[in-house]
């Protein structure tokens, strides 16, 4: 599929601070694409340059093959939904949605039809005559979404649209937003610092850090095969180990030494040779927690440790296990009735087991990363 919205070598500086640094990014027509990263990473600046609220110091922005860099916001076929809703408090829901079509000089009949369609789309037909102050936060956000969609933009920009809502409401609106996207079929660009939101709604994600893009890909690829330690740590939780390759088992697997772990088997996700220093990421849910030393296959790894912390979440329990200098996080899913079982508790000695395929090699070892790549204490 051809690129629909393209940022080509865009850079944006504010004084001595570079918010976006030589970014090239292609977004496809009709996909839901998330810009994900911590505060100050450049994701909102990139969104503002797509909307026309900000201009790149270098580079161009293209939409559907046309250079839109010089166009002001009102001349771009792009609309934005903000975290703050930005509704007109003195206008009804219906008049808020009708505002754009009136500016565009639609006929009264076209306006009425368009507003009715949007009220149906966001399930607010019974609330068209209410003022924003009479609505819940979730309903206000749906009005903002309807107002942004009524003019049928080519791209809808969503800037942290659910950040002001509580968890249950965010989860419900994510499902509704995904259904609305499927119905209208236009390109959604979703800006968020919330990994769960990005993972659940996106076709693809761009993870940003310090003004550059660390990785672009589908959620599963970003999670399972991160390109850097930053991506691995930012998307969910992970355990980092560093060690040295001691043996090449075959073309796919190697053996390496990790302090306090001894010799473990790893999958050669990166090209490695005997003597190389490596970084390894192991997600908590990949680790099996056992009171007894488990039976092992040639591709299994196991290490003994002591439980330092236990957090029960209902659907699962998280364990922090001290293994020498390493503090490992493991996650046990509760697939059976737990009151009939005796689970590991604080102070217990346990074994952590994982398959060589379940670790993932990150970028080659760098001396400046020494001591950095361990999971932070809970």
Closest-CA residue to 90 (of 119, 127, 130, 131): 131
Q: Is 375 within a domain?
A: no
Last residue within a domain, chosen from 231, 255, 288: 231
Q: Which of 197, 231, 265 is the last residue of a domain?
A: 231
> Domain tally for the chain?
2
Is residue 220 situated within a structural domain?
yes
Q: Are residues 125 and 94 in the same domain?
A: yes
Q: Are residues 171 and 257 in the same domain?
A: no
Residue 273 domain-assigned (yes or no): yes
Domain that holds residue 39: 3-231
- pLDDT tens, 20-35? 999 999 999 999 999 9
Q: Are residues 287 and 156 in the same domain?
A: no
Structural domain ending residue among the three candidates 186, 207, 231 = 231
CA 367 from chain centre, in angstroms, equals 29
CATH number (domain holding residue 93): 3.40.50.300
Q: Please tell me whether residues 106 and 199 are part of one structural domain.
A: yes
273 within 8 A of 320, measured Cβ to Cβ: no
For 6, the token pair is 């393209």
Torsions phi, psi of 290, nearest 5? -135, 140
Residue 374 domain-assigned? no
Phi-psi region of 301 (alpha: psi -120 to 50; beta: other; left: phi over 0): beta
Are 98 and 187 part of one and the same domain? yes
Task: Please indicate, yes or no, if residue 377 is contained in any of the structural domains.
Answer: no
Is 378 inside a domain boundary?
A: no
What does the alpha-carbon distance between residue 45 and residue 14 come to, in Å, rounded to a whole number? 11
One digit per residue, the tens of pLDDT, for the chain of length 378 reads 568 999 999 999 999 999 999 999 999 999 999 999 999 999 999 999 999 999 999 999 999 999 999 999 989 999 999 887 789 999 999 999 999 999 989 999 999 999 999 999 998 999 999 999 999 888 998 999 999 999 999 999 999 888 878 888 888 888 888 989 998 999 999 999 989 899 999 999 999 999 999 999 999 999 999 999 999 999 989 999 999 999 999 889 999 999 999 999 999 888 889 999 999 999 999 999 999 888 888 899 999 999 999 999 988 999 999 999 999 999 998 877 777 677 889 999 999 999 999 999 987 544 544 444 444 343
CATH number at residue 348: 2.40.50.100
Contact between 85 and 132 under an 8 Å Cβ cutoff? The reply is yes
One domain for residues 163 and 32: yes
pLDDT tens profile 230-241: 999 999 899 999
174 and 249 housed in the same domain? no
Quick check: is 295 in a domain?
yes
Residues 300 and 254 both lie in one domain: yes
**Which residues fall within 8 angstroms of residue 330, CB to CB, at 6 or more apart?**
284, 287, 288, 289, 318, 319, 321, 352
**How is residue 125 written in tokens?**
């037909």
For residues 207 and 255, state if they share a domain: no
C-alpha–C-alpha distance, residues 30 and 50, integer Å: 16
Same domain, 267 and 213: no
Q: In this structure, what is the dihedral angle of CA atoms 331, 336, 340, 341, given to the nearest 10 degrees?
A: -30
Burial category of 226 from C-beta neighbours within 10 Å (exposed 0-12, middle 13-18, buried 19 and up): buried
Model confidence, pTM: 0.88
Is 376 within a domain?
no
Whether residue 205 is found in the same domain as residue 333: no
Q: Are residues 158 and 252 in the same domain?
A: no
């Amino acid at each position: 599929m051809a690129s629909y919205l393209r940022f080509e070598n865009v850079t944006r500086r504010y004084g001595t601070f570079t918010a976006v640094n030589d970014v090239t990014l292609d977004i496809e027509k009709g996909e839901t694409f998330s810009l994900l990263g911590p505060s100050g990473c450049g994701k909102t600046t990139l969104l503002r340059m797509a909307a026309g609220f900000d201009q790149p110091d270098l580079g161009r922005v293209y939409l559907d093959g046309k250079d839109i860099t010089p166009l002001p916001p009102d001349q771009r076929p792009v609309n934005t939904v903000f975290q703050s809703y930005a509704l007109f408090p003195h206008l009804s829901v219906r008049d808020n949605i009708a505002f754009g079509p009136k500016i565009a000089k639609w006929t009264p009949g076209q306006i009425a039809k368009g507003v009715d369609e949007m009220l149906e789309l966001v399930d607010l037909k019974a609330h068209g005559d209410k003022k924003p102050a009479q609505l819940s936060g979730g309903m206000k956000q749906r009005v903002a979404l309807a107002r942004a969609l009524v003019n049928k933009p080519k791209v809808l920009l969503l800037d942290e649209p659910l950040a002001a809502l509580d968890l249950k409401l965010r989860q419900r609106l994510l499902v509704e937003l995904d259904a609305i996207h499927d119905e209208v079929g236009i390109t959604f660009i979703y800006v968020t610092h919330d990994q769960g939101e990005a993972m659940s709604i996106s076709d693809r994600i761009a993870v940003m850090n310090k003004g550059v893009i660390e990785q672009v890909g589908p959620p599963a690829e970003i999670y399972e095969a991160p390109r850097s330690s930053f991506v691995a740590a930012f998307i969910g939780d992970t355990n980092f180990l560093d060690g040295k390759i001691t043996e090449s088992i075959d073309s796919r697997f190697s053996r390496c030494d990790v302090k306090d772990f001894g010799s473990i088997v790893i999958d050669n996700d990166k090209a490695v040779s005997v003597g190389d220093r490596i970084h390894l990421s192991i997600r908590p849910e990949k680790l099996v927690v056992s009171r007894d030393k488990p039976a092992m296959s040639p591709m299994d790894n196991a290490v003994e440790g002591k439980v330092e912390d236990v957090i029960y979440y209902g659907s699962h329990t998280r364990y922090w296990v001290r293994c020498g200098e390493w503090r490992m996080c493991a996650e046990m899913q509760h697939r059976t009735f737990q009151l009939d079982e005796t689970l590991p508790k604080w102070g217990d000695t346990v074994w952590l087991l994982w398959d060589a395929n379940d670790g993932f090699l990150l970028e080659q070892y760098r001396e400046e990363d020494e001591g950095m790549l361990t999971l932070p204490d809970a």
